[in-house]
């Protein structure tokens, strides 16, 4: 089996990459070397050209002097007289000291004079190419070459010396015609030496200057590179941190979660679980709206500080954005341990937060999910923790562990949704039960609340807390509402007059967003001949607050049609006094949270004060007050003392089938 290279092996075998500074240093050094070399070469060429040009001018001057003593016909006959030859020797002896030799050539290439000729025999051959060029163009033809200056001894021997000369062929004119050429040889050694010295000096100065420039540039680039690296590292760090709280952000959390999942996959076994806690600050929007965004930010910073103090070591606290936080729990041993840590996180909200000198009590909803119990990968784990958090917030549980029944995208949830859809088309699976409302002053049953029940053919009883949220999320809630209205109105018509009591039906926020529900209710009442006063529409306070522009007109149409309107779960929303005064509401139902607090000695006094304020407010607006969730006689007696009008709960009676509803149903409140 072919093995795969590990990342570490890849890094070892991969060629080392030069840093930005080193790449710049090497590239710029090569570039400056090329520039310096080109500068020196160009300067050398310019100096050489200048030296040749000066040498040519000297050669032309010497040619004019020499040919002034030579008759023009000498170039035609190809020879000089001995006296003329001697005169030239004498003349050349006192001319430019750089003169090495001079020859006179005819146009045919015959030498008529050679300053180096001592015995009258030809001592050289012409450079035919340059001689022809001079004859045709009439311009000097220079060339630098090596010249052998004399021989040692008569029979030949070692060379006396070799020198570098500037050999110039200069045209000789007579009667306007080029009749020959003078070959002037000038000692080029001193000129070349000076040029070499100048080039050397220039090269040294250029090298030193370019080196200094390179050092300055390299240092500047090195400093800029270090600043860029520091800036890049800081930007990378800030990209992984939340700007407000300094906690790791979502990106860093997901990166750490991916690493933890990969590590758990490599080392399965005990302690390889990974937990995620997702926290959402309850009613954070209310704090922002009432105290301002600055105070909201201050609250988030304090929450971050408390969570950091509560979790240490391997656990990672992060802010996901807005009022959402997360805690990564690598190496968690069980779901129970993760849930325990979730309660620890919730405990940091016990003490009030001080915002601008004001103490504010804030709560949180926490979702818990654990790998591998609830998910197989990082993204699924995050999503399921989010589902659990939504469940905790929706049902006010504080902490909720992921349950597939709460997940509308889980296979079990999808199956249950399909079965609920089929149950609407079958007879007998969905039924309406009725819980009595007791008049606390007289102890008699004065109304009913219709509650839906689902008896599944294989699952048995399915709790409303399971299928009602499923219907709301899947869009089946409108069909369930229509089923409840049809069943209740038909049942009101079927009951005998002495058995008939007003019945309250819960309407979802989604159903209230459409005015079709009013037409449905009025049509059903007319169809069955039921007076509208026997029907009561219950809506939650949060539905009114969420979209008053669409809900309030529906409530007004219901009230105008004679249907009583009740606000359920009152006290947990944020309905203002002005809104409550203007709403067409007949009944307020106090949220069971306040009723439960009556049984707690620590909160009973405060709850009594709040309930009494609600009762007085409702009575001042001409509304009745109903308390739900009454579980014992003491609570019932307390509510009666607080002037609550009606109550319902298991202390009086659970919800019963329609056949069991009677005029005397419900436990009678004992008179003191």
Cα dihedral 94, 98, 101, 105 sign: negative
Residues 6 or more apart in contact with residue 132 via CB below 8 angstroms: none
pLDDT at 13 over 50: no
Angle at 62 between CA 61 and CA 65, to 5 degrees: 90
Q: What is the DSSP string of 456-523?
A: ETTTEEEPHHHHHHHHHHHT-HHHHHHHHHHHHHHHHHHS-TTT---EEEE--HHHHTSTHHHHHHHH
CA pseudo-torsion sign 138, 142, 146, 148: positive
What is the CATH number assigned to the segment(s) 250-407?
3.30.70.270
Confidence of residue 648 (pLDDT cuts 50, 70, 90): very high
Separation between Cα atoms, residue 578 and residue 617, nearest integer Å: 12
Q: At 55, phi and psi to the nearest 5?
A: -65, -40
Residue 436 pLDDT > 90: yes
Cis peptide preceding 372, ω within 30 of 0: yes
pLDDT tens, position by position, 550-561: 788 888 899 999
How many other CB atoms are found less than 10 A from the CB of residue 516? 12
Q: Report the CATH superfamily, name and number, of domain 18-239.
A: PAS domain (3.30.450.20)
pLDDT score recorded for residue 262: 85
Q: Indicate the burial class of 203 (C-beta count within 10 angstroms; 0-12, 13-18, 19 or more).
A: middle
Is the pLDDT at 285 greater than 50? The verdict is: yes
Mean pLDDT, rounded, for 51-80: 85
Residue 11 has a pLDDT of 43
Counting every residue written for the chain, the total comes to: 672
Instruction: Determine what percent of the chain is predicted with pLDDT higher than 90.
Output: 25
Query: Could you report the per-residue pLDDT of 75-110, keeping only the tens digit for each?
Result: 888 888 888 888 888 887 767 678 888 889 988 888
250-266 and 378-394 helices, crossing angle to 10°: 120
- Region 6-19: mean pLDDT is 48
> Does residue 441 have a pLDDT over 70?
yes
The predicted structure's pLDDT at residue 452: 93
The neighbouring-strand residues paired with 565 are: 537
Residue 560: predicted pLDDT: 92
CATH superfamily, domain 432-660, is EAL domain (3.20.20.450)
Question: Which pLDDT value is given to residue 40?
Answer: 86
622: left (phi over 0), alpha (psi -120 to 50) or beta: left
pLDDT at 578: 63
- Residue-by-residue DSSP string for 436-459: EEEETTT-SEEEEEEEEEEEETTT
pLDDT, residue 535, reads 93
Question: Domain limits of the chain?
Answer: 18-239, 250-407, 432-660
Q: What band does 669 get if pLDDT is binned at 50, 70 and 90?
A: very low
Q: Taking Cα atoms as reference points, which of 521, 265, 493 lies closest to residue 377?
A: 265
Q: Are 611 and 581 in contact (CB under 8 A)?
A: no
Task: Write the pLDDT tens digit of every residue in 402-425.
Answer: 987 677 666 777 788 888 889 888
> What does the alpha-carbon distance between residue 454 and residue 470 come to, in Å, rounded to a whole number?
13
């Amino acid at each position: 089996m072919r093995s795969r290279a590990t990342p570490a092996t890849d890094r070892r075998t991969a060629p080392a990459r030069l840093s930005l500074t080193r790449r710049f240093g090497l590239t710029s050094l090569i570039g400056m070397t090329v520039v310096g070399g080109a500068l020196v070469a160009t300067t050398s060429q310019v100096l050489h050209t200048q030296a040749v040009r000066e040498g040519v001018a000297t050669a032309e001057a010497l040619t004019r002097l020499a040919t002034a003593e030579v008759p023009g016909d000498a170039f035609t006959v190809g020879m000089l007289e001995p006296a003329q030859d001697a005169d030239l020797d004498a003349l050349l002896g006192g001319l430019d000291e750089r003169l090495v030799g001079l020859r006179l050539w005819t146009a045919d290439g015959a030498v008529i004079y050679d300053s180096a000729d001592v015995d009258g025999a030809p001592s050289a051959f012409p450079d035919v190419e340059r001689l022809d060029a001079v004859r045709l163009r009439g311009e000097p033809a220079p060339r630098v070459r090596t010249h052998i200056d004399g021989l040692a001894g008569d029979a030949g021997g070692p060379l006396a010396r070799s020198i570098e000369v500037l050999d110039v062929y200069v045209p000789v004119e007579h009667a306007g015609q080029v009749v020959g050429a003078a070959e002037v040889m000038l000692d080029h050694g001193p000129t070349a030496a000076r040029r070499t010295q100048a080039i050397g000096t220039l090269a040294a100065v250029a090298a030193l200057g370019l080196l200094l420039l390179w050092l300055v540039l390299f240092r500047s680039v090195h400093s800029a590179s270090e600043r860029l690296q520091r800036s890049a590292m800081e930007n990378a760090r800030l990209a992984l941190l939340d700007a407000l709280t300094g906690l790791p952000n979502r990106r860093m959390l997901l990166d750490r979660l991916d690493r933890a999942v990969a590590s758990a996959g490599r080392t399965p076994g005990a302690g390889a679980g990974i937990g995620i806690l997702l926290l959402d600050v309850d009613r954070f929007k209310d704090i922002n709206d009432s105290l301002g965004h600055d105070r909201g930010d201050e609250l988030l910073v304090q929450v971050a500080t408390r969570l950091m103090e509560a979790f240490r070591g391997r656990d990672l606290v992060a802010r996901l954005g807005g009022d959402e936080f997360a805690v990564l729990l690598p190496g968690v041993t069980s779901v129970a341990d993760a849930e325990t840590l979730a309660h620890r996180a919730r405990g940091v909200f016990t003490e009030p937060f001080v915002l601008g000198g004001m103490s504010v009590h804030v709560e949180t909803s926490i979702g818990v999910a654990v790998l591998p119990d609830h998910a197989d990968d990082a993204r699924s784990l995050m999503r399921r923790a989010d589902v659990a958090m939504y469940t905790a917030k929706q049902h006010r549980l504080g902490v909720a562990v992921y349950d597939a029944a709460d997940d509308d995208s889980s296979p079990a949830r999808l199956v249950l949704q399909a079965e609920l859809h089929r149950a609407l088309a079958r007879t007998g699976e969905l039924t309406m039960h009725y819980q009595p409302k007791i008049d606390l002053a007289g102890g008699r049953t004065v109304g009913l609340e219709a509650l839906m029940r689902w008896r599944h053919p294989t699952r048995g009883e399915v709790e409303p807390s399971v299928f009602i949220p499923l219907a709301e999320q899947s869009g089946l809630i409108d069909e369930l509402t229509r089923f409840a209205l049809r069943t209740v109105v038909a049942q009101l018509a079927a009951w005998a007059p002495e058995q008939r009591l007003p019945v309250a039906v819960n309407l979802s926020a989604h159903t209230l967003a459409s005015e079709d529900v009013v037409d449905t209710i009025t049509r059903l009442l007319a169809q069955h001949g039921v007076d509208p006063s026997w029907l009561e529409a219950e809506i939650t306070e949060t539905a009114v607050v969420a979209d008053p522009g669409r809900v309030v007109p529906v409530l007004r149409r219901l009230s105008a049609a004679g249907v009583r309107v009740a606000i359920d779960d009152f006290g947990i929303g944020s309905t203002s006094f002005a809104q409550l005064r203007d709403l067409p509401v007949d009944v307020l139902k106090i949220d069971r949270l306040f009723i439960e607090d009556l049984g707690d000695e620590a909160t009973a006094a405060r709850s009594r004060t709040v309930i009494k304020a609600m009762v007085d407010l409702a009575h001042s607006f001409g509304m009745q007050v109903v308390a739900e969730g009454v579980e014992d006689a003491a609570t019932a007696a307390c509510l009666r003392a607080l002037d609550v009008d009606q109550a319902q709960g298991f202390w009086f009676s659970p919800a019963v089938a329609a056949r069991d509803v009677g005029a005397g149903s419900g436990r009678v409140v004992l008179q003191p």
